[in-house]
Every structure is written in structure tokens, then in C-alpha cells.
A and B are shown apart, each in its own frame.
Chain A
Amino acid sequence: MRTQRRVESAVAAIGCLLVASATFAESECTASTAECVAVGSWSFSVALGAGVRTNPVVHGQDIPLVLVPQFSYYGKRFFIDNLDPGVTLFDGESNTLSLVASPGYDRVFFYRSDLQNFFVFSPMSFAGGSGATGRPPPALQETPATPHALPQPARKVTYLAGPEWTFKHGSLTGQVDLLHEITGRTHGDELRAAIGMPVGSLLGGDLNARFGITWKSASTVNYYYGYPGLYAAGWALNPFIKLGYSRPLSKKWQLDAFVHEERLGNAISDSPIVDKHYVTTAFIGATYIFHQ
């Protein structure tokens, strides 16, 4: 009930902001820029480099990052941004409201073949099977007998959907997603919110910083990190920080690097199948823009 009230309050607040912003919206996109894109256009780029995403799951191997493909298409209303399709309901000068669908994130730690790991393709991405490492499923440390043999519940691909509000205020960009699982696996909710800002220039490139949180309802956390009769998780709040650097090298090439640090909420880090409190994702590479 409390969660529902929070969601309703947030939706009401977003609605008020949109109405207010629509009133003051003065100009629209008139050219292709970093902020704007021509309707009907698509882009595709691939970053080739070296990086890693640490795996907080017990015995879970870190996920190497070698190729990072990025794809997007923008229609008048419809868009697809990698694995996230969406429909834009309102596109104003400073605020945009869309309905989006996005895959559940946590599965990447359990299945190397997860689609989200395709978008950070590594040579071992399709080793297959459950367990992000291809090794036996993670053990439960507290299990008294034969913990390594304990069967792991299947964690299916899930999709969440809901409203997304993005905004720009000065040099700040923001994003708030209120998502509900729609594939009938977790029946959970998720709140994704973040703020991004430029922090300066360095060696001809731009530095930027981002801060954000991911709130996951108990049913979402339980689906990935709980265990029937052994561990029942509550909701979790994961804050993160990211520092990124981007420098154009030519018309088609640019240098990209970032470090992303996420702290796992207590309900996740307390799980017996998790042995780390943080997930670090770092990457440096050259991005080739095939089409923009």
C-alpha cells in the first residue's frame, strides 16, 4: 500500500510538472544536434575496447567488456534505444514523457547469455547456460548440507514497463522511470532515477558525472536474490555514481571511457548468494559510429 501511494504521488507530481512545463515550452528541436534527432533516423555504433563488470554473486565471474554496440531509432512517437522500446507522449523543450519498456537488469549476473550481455558482448558471452560464469550455480554459504549442490531457481528474462520522465535544466539532465514488471515473473516494481551533468574538459574531451538510484521492490529482489525457505528479501535501494569521458577522434571515431560504481542495497548484499556490496563497471575503448 505504501509503495502504491508513493507511485501514485510520483505520477501525480510528474503530471503537474509536465503540465507546467508544457505551458512554458517555447521552442522545439529544429536541427540535428546532441540533444535533437531527425524523426525517422537511426544510429548504430560499436565501442571496441577493454572493460569489466564485476559480479556480486557468489562464484560469479566478472563479465568482460570488449564490444559495446549501441543502436537507436527515433520515429515521431515510437523509439527504440538498444533493448528499450518506447512511445513518447510529450516532447517539450525541457521535459519529455514517454512510456518505455526495459529488461530487468539483475539477470545479467546469472546468465551470460542474457540479451543485456549481448549489448556488452564479450568472447564468452554465449558460453550458455545458467550461471554467468558457466560454472556450477552459486552456492549458498549458510546452507548446512551440500551447499554447492543446492538447485538454483530459474531466473527468466523479465521486462518492465511504465512512464519515463526525462528533463533538462541548464546543464543538468535527469531521468525518472517508474516501472512495473509485465512479463509475469516477479510482479515487482522498480524506480530508476538519475541526474547527469558535465564537469569539465580534459585533453580535448568532455568529462561528465552522473548520480542515481535504483529502487527495487521486495518481489523483484526476491526473484533474483531470494531463496525459498532460506532467504526472503525486502526492497533494496541501490545508489550509483558514474564518471565518464568522451573525446572525438575523427568524424567517425571517438574515445570513450567510464567508471560506474553501484552500491547494492542491504536486501541484496545480505543475500546468501551475494558476497559483494558493490558492482563496478569500467570500460575504455574507441567507438566507431557506423550511422548517425
Chain B
Amino acid sequence: MHQGMDVRGSSTAFRRAWTALAIIAGLSIAGSALPASGPADEDIRLEISPRICTLTGNEKQCATPVRAQWRSKHDESLCLVILGRPEIRQEVRHCWEHYTAGTYTIDLVFTEDVVFQLRDVSLDHVLASEALRVIREAIQYRHRRRQPWNIFN
């Protein structure tokens, strides 16, 4: 009785494992075919400079020219899209047709991370992505010197 139950249990475990593998495989195939958020094309390299903006003291926003540079082993037709700035998202798009490299420089004012993406001309596929991070330096405070003894303080 106990043995039979064990056999049936093993058989059930095998079926479940195969089912899981099949689901994973199916998801992987389907995932590769998804248009908007698939893995970046490894043949295309995107670099941005600077990559980090550090806010110190009372600084509230970053204001800096940012250069985005890409290169590929093959001719590419693609567009650079800058995310994180919805108010000008449509404007900040620069496209190239049949190029192996490109550079785009823009003056940006921002308070949060800004994402630079290379997409195909239909804007559906993300080919490469880099983020310009904003780091706020933690401000520490301490007491001023209390000096009632001093004549001029």
C-alpha cells in the first residue's frame, strides 16, 4: 500500500517536472518573440557620458550635457530614445539609417534617473539601454558650537 502510493507519487512528480520544463521552454520561446522589452542586441553597444550625476549639499537638480554614443558591427537603422522625461519624450528621439556608429549630445536638466535606449525604427524593439543615474549625497548635520563665553558670537 505504501509502496504503491510511492510509485504513484514518483510518477506524478515526473509529470509535474516535464510540465514545468515545457512551460519554461514555451515562455522562453514566446519571450524571444516579444516586441517591446526583449533582451538588448549584443552587437550594438551604447555608452553614455556622464553615467552618474551626484547632487551634493543643497543642489536639487542635475544640469549637464550628456553624450550618447553607439556602435555596431553591422549597418543599423535605429533611434535613440530618452526615457524618464515624458514632457519631451517625443522630441528627444534621434534616428540613424544604415549607420554603424552614431553620437548624440544633448543638454539635460533632470532630477531622477534618465534612461537612454536604442530602438529599431518602429520603436518596438529595445536594442540597447543605459541609465544615467542620479545619486543624492546624504547630507549629515551636526550641532553648531554653542559659545556663550565668546564676546563676538
Contacts and interface: CB of A to CB of B under 8 A. Distances in A.
By CB atoms of chain A within 10 A, which of B139, B140, B152 has the most? B152
B147 interface: yes
B148 A30 contact: no
Interface in A4-35: 28-32, 34-35
Name the residue among B139, B140, B142 with the largest chain A CB count within 10 angstroms.
B142
B152 to A, nearest CB: 6
Contacts of B142: 29, 36-37, 39, 74, 76, 88, 91
Interface residues of B, number: 15
Nearest to B140: A39
A249 interface: no
B151 A79 contact: no
B141 interface: yes
Interface stretch (A123-131, A150-158, A193-201): A193-201
Nearest to A81: B145
Judged by DSSP, the binding face of A is strand
A168 interface: yes
Contacts of A194: 148-149
A174 B145 contact: no
Contact of B148 (A29, A36, A76, A175): A175
B141 A28 contact: yes
A36 B149 contact: no
CB-CB nearest 3 A-B residue pairs:
A196-B148, A29-B141, A194-B148
17 contacts: A28-B141, A31-B141, A35-B144, A36-B141, A37-B141, A39-B140, A74-B142, A76-B142, A81-B145, A82-B152, A91-B142, A96-B145, A119-B152, A166-B143, A175-B146, A175-B147, A175-B149
